[in-house]
Amino acid sequence: MKKLTSLVLILVLALSLAGCGSQNSSDKTVLKVGASPTPHAEILEIVVDDLAKQGIELQIVEFDDYVLPNTGTEDGSLDANYFQHTPYLEDFNATRGTHLVSVAVVHYEPLGIYAGKSSSLDLADGAVIGVPNDATNEARALLLLEANGLLTLDPNAGLNATVLDITDNPKNLKIEEIEAAQITAHLADLDLAVVNGNYAVQAGLKVSDAIAIEDKDSEAANIYGNILVVKEGRENDPAILALADALRTEEVKKFIEETYAGTVVPKF
Confidence at residue 20, expressed as pLDDT on a 0 to 100 scale: 33
Residue 25 predicted with pLDDT over 50: no
User: Could you tell me the end-to-end alpha-carbon distance of the chain, in angstroms, rounded to an integer?
Assistant: 70
Q: 108-154 pLDDT, tens per residue?
A: 998 999 999 999 999 999 999 999 998 878 999 999 999 999 999 99
Element (H, E) at 225: strand 225-231
In the structure, what pLDDT confidence band is assigned to residue 12 with cuts at 50, 70 and 90?
A: very low
Compute CA distances 234 → 100, 178, 230, whole Å: 10, 34, 6
Find out whether 206 and 121 touch, Cβ atoms under 8 Å: no
Of 86, 23, 31, 27, give the one whose Cα is nearest residue 237: 31
pLDDT tops 90 at residue 253: yes
Contact at 8 Å (CB) between 127 and 174? yes
What pLDDT sits at residue 160? 86
Which pLDDT value is given to residue 15?
A: 36
In this structure, are residues 97 and 75 in contact, taking their beta carbons and an 8 Å threshold?
no
Confidence (pLDDT) at 26: 59
Q: What is the pTM of this model?
A: 0.75
Reported residue count of the chain is: 268
- As a whole number of angstroms, the distance between CA 120 and CA 193 comes to 11
Segment 26-68, tens digit of pLDDT: 578 999 999 999 999 999 999 999 999 999 999 999 998 889 9
Answer yes or no: is pLDDT of 214 > 90: no
- pLDDT of 168-212, one tens digit each? 999 999 999 999 989 999 999 999 999 988 889 889 998 889 999
Alpha helices in 47-85 (DSSP H): 48-52, 68-75
Q: What is the pLDDT of residue 62?
A: 98
Residue 35's CB: how many other CB atoms inside 10 A? 24
* 225 CB-near residues (< 8 Å, 6+ apart): 85, 86, 105, 106, 107, 108, 267
**pLDDT at position 92 over 70:** yes
Q: Are 109 and 264 in contact (CB under 8 A)?
A: yes
Helix 86-96 vs helix 135-147: angle between axes, to the nearest 10 degrees?
A: 140
Q: Is the peptide bond preceding residue 132 cis, with omega within 30 degrees of 0?
A: no
Predicted pLDDT at 197: 86
CB 93 within 8 A of CB 86: no
Q: How many CB atoms lie within 10 A of CB 13?
A: 10
Q: What domains are there in the chain, each with its CATH number?
A: 28-109+222-266 (3.40.190.10), 112-214 (3.40.190.10)
Q: How confident is the prediction for the chain on average, in pLDDT? A: 89
Give the C-alpha separation, 23 to 28, whole Å: 9
